[in-house]
Structure formats: C-alpha cells, structure tokens
C-alpha cells in the first residue's frame, strides 16, 4: 500500500483560540482486491470539544504503537488514530464462516503491520456534528466488501463458549460510546441510544481469539486505542 493510499491528518494550532486541531486531507483505500476510493472530508479534531466534522469523519483505528515521529509537510504534522497495543495489526473486515456477514476483527501481527481500514464515526444525537467523549456514535468501515451489504458495525450473536457478543457488519447498525481512560480510548456500550440496555452486563469492546482469528467482542478485556503521530 503506497503512502498516498493512507488516511492523513494534519495537525493545526489556532493561536487565537488556543486549541489544537487535526484536519483530514485525503484518503484512498484499496482492499479485498476491489478498489474503494474514499474522497477525504475536511475534518477538524478539537482536543477540547471532540472530533468536529461536517457529517462523517474518517479515522484509522490500528495497532502499531511505535513512538511518535515528526514529518513536516506544508508546516503541518501528520497523525494516525492508533491502538495502544502491539499484539496485532489494525481493525478490518474478517470472514469467519465463508459466508456473509463479515465480522469486525484485527489483522494478525506480521513483519509489515497493517494500518487496518479507516472508520467513519457518526453521532447518535440529531443535528450533532462533533464526536464527543462518552456520547453514542455509530461506526462503519470506509471500504467496500465482497458482501453486498453495509459495513456499519452492529452487536451480533454471542460466542457459545465465552458468551461474549461479537461485532459484525451489515443489517441495522448499533451504537457505541467512546470513553477516555487516562489518555487512552476505548469503545463501550451505548447510553443515550439505549437507556434500557443491560449496563452491568454490557462491557467494553476487546479482542476475542476464535479459530485463530482476532474478533472484536463486547463484555471482556478492553481494546484500547489512541492518537499517534506518523
């Protein structure tokens, strides 16, 4: 994958507002042998207010935790949205059964760590254009798949051995909450979109290994992520 095919954020500092934002410049994604071209929206991430976007914002959630390095281009700095662990690659679409739907999972660790697929976050609240901490959002991969269905995430069936609920794509989308835990972020169960959900049972999203494949599942260990400078 060439450098130009990756999602790029430019770090911008506004001296008048005394805040730091990230602006998305361009994204081009190629996956599963089928071109999927995603024209990048101009997105600002305000560290005080959250992720500011006109309607949708593309974000990578991947898993290479290498230390931050500076690259300067047009007086800006570039960032990735990364996981905080180095156990495997980025989040991607996983085929577990040779049938649809596809599951949300993690690329296996290899000599070349995959950045995963970019994600689109959409606020649950009507008219909202900022992704805020501890508020509900829907999540979807900004890519195409071999299944003729949406790549939006939804909470699926329970794993029969662990009783953890797997995250699948297609069908009616589910909502998740982004929480800040000491500078790291995690996905949790929704609040405002599902006030009657079983909160004690519904935990954070983490990785479940099943038949050698790493799947995103609720009700278990946490899958933390963070912003990383490229």
- How many CA atoms are closer than 13 Å to the CA of 194, on its beta-carbon side? 16
CATH 3.20.20.70 fits 3-229, yes or no: no
The residue written with tokens 């410049």 in the block is: 25
pLDDT in tens, 177-211: 888 888 788 888 877 777 666 554 667 888 899 88
**pTM assigned to the model:** 0.63
Confidence of residue 102 (pLDDT cuts 50, 70, 90): very high
pLDDT in tens, 114-170: 677 888 888 998 888 887 888 888 988 888 888 888 999 999 888 888 888 999 999
Give the DSSP letter of residue 25: -
pLDDT in tens, 35-75: 233 333 333 333 333 333 333 444 444 443 332 222 222 22
Domain boundaries, the chain: 3-229
Cis peptide, bond prior to residue 101, ω within 30 of zero: yes
What pLDDT was estimated at residue 111?
55
Which residue has better confidence, 64 or 104?
104
- With CA atoms as reference, report the closest residue to 121 among 141, 97, 100, 98: 141
pLDDT above 70 covers a percentage of the chain that reads: 54
What pLDDT was estimated at residue 168?
94
């Amino acid at each position: 994958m060439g450098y130009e095919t990756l999602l790029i954020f430019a770090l911008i500092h506004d001296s008048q507002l005394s805040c730091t934002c990230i602006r998305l410049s361009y994204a081009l994604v190629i996956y599963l042998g089928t071109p999927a071209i995603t024209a990048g929206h101009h997105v600002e991430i305000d560290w005080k207010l959250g992720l500011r976007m006109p309607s949708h914002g593309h974000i990578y959630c991947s898993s290479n935790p290498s230390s931050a390095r500076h690259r300067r281009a047009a007086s800006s700095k570039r960032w990735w949205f990364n996981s905080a662990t180095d156990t495997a690659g980025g989040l991607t679409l996983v085929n577990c059964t040779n049938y649809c739907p596809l599951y949300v999972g993690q690329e296996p660790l290899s000599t070349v760590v995959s950045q995963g697929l970019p994600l689109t976050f959409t606020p649950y609240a009507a008219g909202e254009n900022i992704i805020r901490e501890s508020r509900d959002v829907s999540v979807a991969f900004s890519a195409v798949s071999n299944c003729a269905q949406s790549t939006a995430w939804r909470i699926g069936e329970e794993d029969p051995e662990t009783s953890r609920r797997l995250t699948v794509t297609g069908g009616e989308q589910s909502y998740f909450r982004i929480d800040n835990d000491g500078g790291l972020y995690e996905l949790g169960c929704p609040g405002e979109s599902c006030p009657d959900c079983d909160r004690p049972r519904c935990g954070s999203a983490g990785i479940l290994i099943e038949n050698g494949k790493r799947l995103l599942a609720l009700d278990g260990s946490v899958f933390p992520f963070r912003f990383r400078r490229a």
